[in-house]
Copies of this chain bind each other. A is one copy, B any other.
Amino acid sequence: MSSDIEIARAAKMQPIADIGEQLGIPEDALIPFGRTKAKIGSDFLRSLADRPDGKLVLVTAISPTPAGEGKTTTTVGLGDGLNRIGKKTAVCLREPSLGPCFGMKGGAAGGGKAQVVPMEDINLHFTGDFHAITSAHNLLSALIDNHIYWGNALEIDTRRVTWRRVMDMNDRALRTIVSSLGGVSNGFPREAGFDITVASEIMAILCLSTSLEDLQDRLGNIIVAYRRDKSAITARELEADGAMTVLLKEAIQPNLVQTLENNPAFVHGGPFANIAHGCNSVMATRSALKLADYVVTEAGFGADLGAEKFFDIKCRKAGLSPKAVVIVATVRALKMNGGVAKEDLGSENVDAVTKGCANLGRHIENVKQFGVPAVVAINHFTADTDAEVAAIKAYCANHGTDAVLATHWADGGAGTETLAHKVVELAESDTAQFAPLYNDELPLFEKIEQIAKRIYRADEVLADKSVRDQLRRWEADGFGHLPVCMAKTQYSFSTDPALRGAPTGHSVPVREVRLSAGAGFVVAICGEIMTMPGLPSVPSANHIGLDDNGQIEGLF
Contact = CB atoms under 8 A, between A and B. Distances in A.
Contact of A135 (B31, B169, B191, B537): B169
Which of A32, A165, A539 has the most chain B CB atoms closer than 10 A to its own CB?
Answer: A539
Interface stretch (A50-58, A80-88, A242-250): A242-250
A185 interface: yes
B242 A546 contact: yes
A31 B245 CA distance: 27
A104 interface: no
A172 B168 contact: no
A145 B172 contact: yes
A544 B174 contact: no
Given A216-B546, A542-B239, A181 B178 contact: yes
A433 interface: no
Interface stretch (A412-420, A478-486, A548-556): A548-556
Contacts of A172: 145-146, 149, 180, 185-187
Interface string A94-108: 000010001000000
A49 B227 CA distance: 63
A243 B142 contact: no
A125 interface: yes
A173 B187 contact: yes
B34 A246 contact: no
A26 interface: no
A145 B194 CA distance: 15
Interface string A155-185: 0000000000101111111111111111001
Contacts of A98: 135
A48 interface: no
A201 B200 CA distance: 28
Contacts of A545: 216, 241-243, 245-246
A150 B142 CA distance: 32
Given A34-B32, A124-B247, A542-B239, A534 B169 contact: no
Interface in A524-539: 534-535, 537, 539
Copies of this chain, count = 2
A162 B36 CA distance: 40
A56 to B, nearest CB: 29
Nearest to A42: B550
A452 interface: no
Contacts of A242: 541, 543-546, 554
A539 B246 contact: no
Interface string A18-62: 000000000000011111000000100000000000000000000
B125 A132 contact: yes
A241 B546 CA distance: 10
Given A32-B33, A176-B182, A555 B187 contact: no
A502 to B, nearest CB: 32
A546 B246 contact: yes
A42 B549 CA distance: 12
B246 A138 contact: no
B177 A181 contact: yes
B186 A175 contact: yes
A241 to B, nearest CB: 8
A262 interface: no
A220 to B, nearest CB: 11
A139 interface: yes
Contacts of A185: 172, 534
Which of A125, A241, A250, A542 has the most chain B CB atoms closer than 10 A to its own CB?
Answer: A125
B173 A145 contact: yes
A341 interface: no
Nearest to A127: B128
A143 interface: yes
8 contacts: A124-B246, A139-B169, A173-B186, A175-B182, A242-B543, A242-B554, A243-B540, A246-B546
Given A32-B32, A125-B128, A243-B544, 4 more contacts: A31-B35, A131-B135, A150-B537, A240-B541
